Every structure is written in C-alpha cells, then in structure tokens.
Amino acid sequence: MATKRAALKRKDLLGIEPLSVEEIHLILETASSFQEVAARPVKKVPTLRGRTIINLFFEPSTRTRSSFELAGKRLSADILNFTASASSVVKGETLLDTVLNLESMAPSIIVIRHPASGAPHQLAGACKASIVNAGDGMHEHPTQALLDALTVLQKKGSIRGLNVTLVGDLAHSRVARSDVLIFSRLGARVTVCGPPTLIPLEMERLGARVVFDMDEALRGADCIIMLRIQVERQTQAFFPSIREYFRWYGLTEERMHQAAQGAIVMHPGPLNRGVEIASEVADGPYSVILDQVANGIAVRMAVLYLLSAGRG
C-alpha cells in the first residue's frame, strides 16, 4: 500500500510536460501498489474519506470518465459527476463561472475534460481545488500516458531502451503528445509514423524519430501504440479514404511480423476496427488493450491520492 508520506509536491496535474522523472516514477509505483485493491473482494480503502471530487466532462468519454469515478470511489471520496450537456453550460454559462460555482461546494479535486487546449491550465490559476487534466483538446492526456507507461512496465519489465512506436493521427491526438513525452523521458526510443499530413513538426522536438513508412516504423518495435483517427477534430481531408488509410497505416496480423519478438499492441480506445487496427490484432495475443483499461483505475487512484496527500 502507498506509504502515508508519499505525495506530489504540486497542486495540479496538467500534463506530462511539467512532471519530473521522479514524479512519474512516484505515480507509477503508487499505482502498482493500488492495484492490489482491485484484487480484493471489497475494493475500497478509506484514504480519501470525507473529500469531494468533481468529474467535469465537456466531451464524451467512456474509459477515462468511468475509471476516474471508480478510482475516487475505491478511495472512499464523495464523487459528483457533472455532464456539461445536462447543465447550465447549454444556457451559455462560461467555463469559469461554471467551475467557480462548483468550487463553492468545496471539492478537493476537479477532474476536467474539455475540447479547448489549455482549459485546465486556466482553471488551475483560478481555483483552490486541485485540477486534473483528463484530456484538453489536442494538447495532453496525462493519465492516459501514465497508464500506458504502467502497462508497458508491467508487460516488459522496464521502459529504458525499448522501441516504442506510435502510429496514426499524431496531429490531433492528445494521447500521442503525452505518450511521446512520457516514453522519451523514461528512456525509450520513440518512433512516430503516419501520413505526412498527420505528423506535426514538433514531434521531433519532443524527442521522437519520424518515419512515414509503416513497415519501417514497426521493424524491431517492442511496443506499438495505435492511435484513433480523430474524426471529430478533423475539418479537412488528411488522407484520400479510409480504405487507403488502412492499406498504408492499418495494423494487421501480417504487419506484426516486422515487430520484435514478444511485442505488445496498445490503443487508448475507442477503437476504429478496420480503420487503424484489424480486429484480429485488437483481439489477438499481442493486444494489451484491456490491461490498459484496468491499469487506468490504479493510475487515477494514485494521482488522486498523491495530489490530496500533498495538500494535507
């Protein structure tokens, strides 16, 4: 179990970018220790009893939202789930007004997903509660990167020196930015691959090798992270057709022969079967996609706990 003194010495978790390697390790170690709670018949610890957590989602979510909710409940916090589409946001209330009103209900932590990049950062400056970024526009999705790192760590034993390849829509994916940051910071060799129209220039600055040929990108890969085509964030056509996309960048069983022995396949969900990944791979022996989901709860428990512990 996590020791009482472990804590993050920061008020908010806004991204992977501001985290030190030590902070990342602390979160991953704490998450591993929380995994034991999921194996118990009574999946609850009293750690956050009496604290209130608000989950504020301005965009659809299945995995992130439900695992933040379960994480808070397994820590015994009181949880308020706020869905923007069922609130006064539809009457024109601003983000800041909405959050300041919710803050007067004295939450310790506000978890927010918002379509605007930087929305959690704006709130962090205005709120006393800790802000946790659960995905902001095309910017970052730090808890997804943390659960991805935990999954690789558990499946491969360590991250340093591994070949990690991300394939797909890197331009619109917040998961991609956070993943490139975490895996390069933890010492992996990161390769990104996709159509040139979907690879932003900053990928090299973030520490990734850019490759446009899928087979070359997969050669020797220990871990392959497939990204969803972000239909909701595309305003123009970035590739000729879905069929073409799958032909050039879809992950098939046949393409897996390029990867290193024992390679694992990950995907943050939701899957577009037959677009970026074939069902035989998503459901096949290399896939650790459902392990990622299970690890999401432990990582979010760790983040909620470590932020609260840091604030007494």
Residues engaged in binding ligand ASP (CB under 6 A)? 135, 141, 174-175, 228, 268-269
Minimum distance between the CB of residue 175 and ligand ASP, rounded to whole angstroms? 5
**Minimum distance, C-beta of residue 66 to ligand ASP, in the bound complex (Å):** 12
Q: Minimum distance from CB of 132 to ligand ASP (Å)?
A: 14
Q: Which is nearer to ligand ASP, 34 or 58 (CB)?
A: 58
Nearer to ligand ASP, 174 or 300 (CB): 174
Instruction: Please report how close the Cβ of residue 5 comes to ligand ASP at its closest, in angstroms.
Output: 33
- Residue 141 or 189: the one with the smaller Cβ distance to ligand ASP is 141
**Residue placing its CB nearer to ligand ASP in the complex, 45 or 223:** 223
User: What is the nearest approach in angstroms of ligand ASP to the Cβ of residue 59?
Assistant: 7
User: Residue number with the shortest CB distance to ligand ASP?
Assistant: 228
Whichever of 202 and 215 has its CB closer to ligand ASP, that residue is: 202
Closest distance of CB 193 from ligand ASP, Å: 17
Toward ligand ASP, which CB reaches closer, 51 or 228?
228
Residue 151's φ and ψ, nearest 5 degrees, are: -65, -45
